[in-house]
Every structure is written in C-alpha cells, then in structure tokens.
C-alpha cells in the first residue's frame, strides 16, 4: 500500500472521532514531548499526532485507521526506555497507553494478576503485596516504568539474578495486531503448552508485532523471605568484578548483586543526601532472602567471598530501612547522573566469568577516548550498564562518547556477550544486533514481522536489523 498524505487537521478530526475526550494531541509541545524516549542521541521524527488511549478498543480503532491509510503507529508506555524503541518515525501516530492504569484482577488462589499496560510496575507490586503476594521483576525504573513497557522490552531488574526477567512471569496478554484485530494469548493455568508460544514471542518484541494492552502475570508468595544485605567496598572495578565471578563460581545465587562505582555514589548522595560513603571506589551490594540459618549461612559465605576478593569494610544489614536506602542509591544512579549532563546508557551482558575483564575494558575505553564513564551493573547476571556522560553542547565529547559506546559493544561481543541484556535493541543497538545475529536469523525476524505486520504499520525499523541483501 502506498503511503497517503494526511492533512493534520483532518487527521486530528478523524482520530477525535475514534478517541474522544480531548485525548488527541497535535500541539507542538506535545508532539515534541512524545516524540522520543530517554535514549540520548537516538534519532526521532515529529509525529503527526499523539493519541492517549484509555481502552483496548481505542487502541484497535487507531491501529485499524492507520493501517487503512498507510500510516505508522509507534506505541509508547511511560517513555522511560533507553534504546529509542518508542521514538517517533516519519508519517506516524504515537499511541500512548499511559492512561490504561487499571489493575483488573488479583487472584490470590491462582496467584496471578491482570493489569492494563499503563500500570506502573511498583503500583502493581504494592497492590499484590497487600494480599500477601509478590511480583518479582523490578527494573531500576520500577517507580516510573509500566507493565506494558516492561513486557515489550522483556525488562529485567535487580532481582533477576535469582528470580528471572519479565518473560518468566507473563502468562498471557491481550494484544492489538497490526490490522486492528484484538487477540488473547497465553493461559491462566500453572501449565499450558497449546500451540506456539505466541505470548513469549510478543514479550520483548518492542511493539513491532502487536501492541500489548493487558498483561496476565504470575505471582509468588510474599511470606517466607527474610532479607539480609551484604555490603563490600572494593579498590577497583576489576577487584569488584573478581568478586562477582567468584560468587558465580561458588554456586551462590543471591537475590540481588549490584555494582555501583564512586561516580554514581557521589552523584546520588549530592542529589538525595543519603549519607553514602564518599571515599569508596566501588560498592558491591548483595541481598540474600532465604530464611533462618540457611540465609545466615549464605550471607556469611558471600561476605567471605567479598573478603577473599579484596573487599574491605564488609558489613551485613538486616534492617529493612537500611537495605532499602542502599538499594535506593542503585535505583537512583541513572537520574542522578542525568543531572550532570546527557547520559548515553550501555546495556551489555557478558558471561559472569567475563565480568572482571569487561569492567577493565570499559575503564580502558574511558581513558582511551577521554570520556567520563560511570558504572552500575546487575553484576550477578553479568548485565553491565556503563553510563557515558558528555557535557551539553560539547560536540567533540559526544563524538568520543559514541566511539566509546561502539567499542564497548565490540568488546562485549568478543567476550561472548550480547549487545543488550534488558533495554531492548530499539534504534541504538541496531548496529550491534546486526553483528551479533546471523543473517539467516535476521531473515527469520523479517519473516515473522512480515507475517504479522505485512504493511509495516507497527513501530517500523526497531528491534532487529534489516536483512542485508546479497
């Protein structure tokens, strides 16, 4: 189908008929605000309009309208993505699901919940916690990111080293397909293998195969967990990396194992005044949640591994407020650094045994390219987040930052890693994905996209590289 030029006035009028109540935005400020996510330097275009949908049927109406007129649709949650996956493309409608905030069901017997896509992760966790249940996936952005966005990117988080990522908890979903049809995927039972795993296919597809409007997630019991924090200070990134590799080699699986370097600690403390240590090079922060003597023994083992790897001032914390304070420092590292200037966020994942070497290479890249690279990491599963900072308007520094970004991706792949652990490919990771994926595998991606979205309506150009023609 050829693309049809649609006049802004007639488009707004048409969309208002589909989504009433002043939820079609065409003013310049709104178009700019909704044109990109939090990924620095990822390209974006000005959308034709922004639609704030409040129901699955409205999403379907907009998608159907766009498909019939040869327009694109870019779905969006809270806009907290870090890869450009929600960035506007030419000739598109940005379709926001941020108003779809209802928790539709919490079933305590079957331990599941059904939530609309716009529900904030922490809101769901708090709601199920009030009835004694727990939703484990907890990205660092859990206070501001949505369940729909988490599913679209297969978000990970602080607890994923032990409890897994979003895909491990999604039982089913409601999806609007590229032609506007509404389908229901998955199941509500503890087991279910009828047909292909289309639910798993949609998780992590970044809105390119369908728009997720409702998600059914499994829950765990909240009781029976006794959290203990283990804190260790390390003289270098390499030493902290050695501790991470040693934890893995010892077969210890903590509930969390996070790395925060001195740049991040200083930025967070200057912003929030949490009383964090100012003279520490690297902090490793672990969490054990097994109860009783089992948890105490594991905490002692972790503390011993930290000490043997060069850690000092090893402490164990059992006060929930103290544990929350330390993990808050980890969660707030990225926004704290944003206050210092634009941040280009990496999201590489390497084998845990390669964490020490990868951290050393990141440090070398910072020196080599004369850029500031702060480091946070879900270290327990090898998911590293180097944060490259460039001053506003410093074009030379931006160029160096991009060069360092590419070098880190290459180093990650050389060490047997993957170019994105949880942020998604979006736009920023397309070159790295093209290097990582075999040509036949890229072709398979294209075949799936063509089968589900033959007109290229949904979020085109994202999530996977285009196939190279022979």
Average pLDDT over residues 266-277: 89
Question: What is the pLDDT, as a whole number, of residue 320?
Answer: 86
Question: What is the pLDDT, as a whole number, of residue 322?
Answer: 85
Q: How many whole angstroms separate alpha carbon 93 and alpha carbon 11?
A: 10
Beta carbons within 10 angstroms of residue 466's beta carbon: 13
pLDDT surpasses 70 at 89: yes
Question: What is the pLDDT, as a whole number, of residue 435?
Answer: 96
Per the prediction, the chain carries an average pLDDT of 94
pLDDT bracket for residue 112 (50, 70, 90)? very high
pTM of the model: 0.94
Question: What is the pLDDT, as a whole number, of residue 270?
Answer: 92
pLDDT surpasses 90 at 7: no
Q: How many whole angstroms separate alpha carbon 16 and alpha carbon 12?
A: 6
Question: What is the pLDDT, as a whole number, of residue 470?
Answer: 44
Q: How many whole angstroms separate alpha carbon 288 and alpha carbon 309?
A: 19
Question: What is the pLDDT, as a whole number, of residue 3?
Answer: 44
Which residues make Cβ contacts (< 8 Å) with residue 356, sequence separation at least 6? 238, 241, 242, 244, 245
Question: What is the pLDDT, as a whole number, of residue 263?
Answer: 93
pLDDT surpasses 60 at 6: no
Residue % of the chain over a pLDDT of 90: 87
Buried b (16+ CB within 10 A) or exposed e, 394-409: eeebbebbbebbebbb
Question: What is the pLDDT, as a whole number, of residue 4?
Answer: 44
Q: Provide the CATH number for the domain formed by 228-414 in this structure.
A: 3.40.462.10
Torsional sign, CA 343, 344, 348, 352: negative
Q: Give me the architecture of the 103-221 domain, per CATH.
A: 2-Layer Sandwich (3.30)
* 8-96 under CATH 1.20.1740.10, yes or no: no
Residue % of the chain over a pLDDT of 70: 98
* Domain locations along the chain: 8-96, 103-221, 228-414
9-67 pLDDT, tens per residue? 799 999 999 998 899 999 999 999 999 999 988 999 999 999 999 999 999 999 999 99
Token couple for 189: 């039972």
pLDDT surpasses 50 at 169: yes
């Amino acid at each position: 189908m050829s693309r049809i030029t649609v006049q802004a006035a007639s488009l707004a009028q048409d969309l208002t008929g589909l989504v009433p109540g002043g939820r079609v935005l065409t003013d310049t400020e709104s178009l700019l605000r909704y044109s990109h996510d939090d990924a620095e330097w990822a390209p974006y275009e000005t959308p034709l309009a922004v639609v704030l949908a409040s129901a699955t049927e409205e999403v379907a109406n907009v998608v159907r309208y766009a498909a019939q007129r040869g327009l694109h649709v870019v779905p969006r949650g809270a806009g907290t993505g870090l890869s450009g996956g929600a960035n506007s493309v030419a000739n598109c409608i940005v379709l926001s699901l941020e108003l779809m905030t209802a928790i539709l069901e919490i079933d305590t017997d079957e331990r599941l919940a059904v939530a609309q896509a716009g529900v904030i992760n922490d809101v769901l966790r708090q709601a199920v916690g009030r009835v004694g249940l727990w939703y484990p996936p907890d990205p660092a952005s859990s206070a501001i990111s949505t369940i729909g966005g988490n599913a679209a990117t297969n978000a990970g988080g602080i607890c994923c080293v032990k409890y897994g990522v979003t895909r491990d908890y999604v039982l089913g979903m409601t999806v609007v397909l590229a032609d506007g049809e509404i389908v229901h995927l998955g199941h509500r039972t503890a087991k279910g293998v009828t047909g292909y795993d289309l639910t798993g296919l949609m998780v992590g597809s970044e809105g390119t195969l369908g728009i997720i409007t409702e998600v059914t997630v499994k829950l765990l019991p909240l009781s029976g967990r006794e959290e203990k924090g283990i804190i260790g200070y390390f003289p270098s990134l390499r030493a902290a990396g050695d501790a991470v590799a040693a934890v893995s080699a010892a077969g210890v699986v903590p509930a969390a194992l996070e790395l925060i370097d001195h740049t991040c600690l200083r930025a967070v403390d200057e912003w929030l005044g949490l009383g964090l240590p100012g003279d520490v090079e690297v902090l490793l922060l672990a969490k054990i949640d097994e109860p009783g003597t089992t948890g105490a023994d594991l905490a002692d083992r972790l503390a011993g591994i930290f000490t043997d790897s060069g850690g000092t001032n090893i402490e164990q914390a059992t006060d929930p407020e103290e544990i929350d304070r330390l993990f808050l420092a980890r969660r707030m590292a990225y926004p704290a650094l944003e206050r210092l200037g634009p941040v280009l966020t990496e999201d590489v994942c390497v084998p845990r045994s390669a964490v020490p070497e990868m951290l050393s290479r990141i440090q070398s890249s910072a020196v080599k390219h004369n850029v500031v690279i702060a480091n946070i990491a879900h270290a327990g599963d090898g998911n590293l987040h180097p944060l490259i900072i460039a001053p506003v308007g410093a074009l030379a520094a931006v160029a160096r930052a991009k060069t360092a970004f590419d070098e880190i991706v290459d180093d990650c792949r050389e060490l047997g890693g993957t170019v994105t652990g949880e942020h998604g490919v979006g736009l920023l990771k397309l070159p790295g994905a093209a290097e990582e994926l075999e040509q036949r595998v890229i072709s398979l991606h294209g075949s799936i996209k063509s089968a589900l979205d033959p007109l290229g309506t949904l979020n085109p150009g994202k999530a996977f590289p285009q196939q190279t023609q022979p």
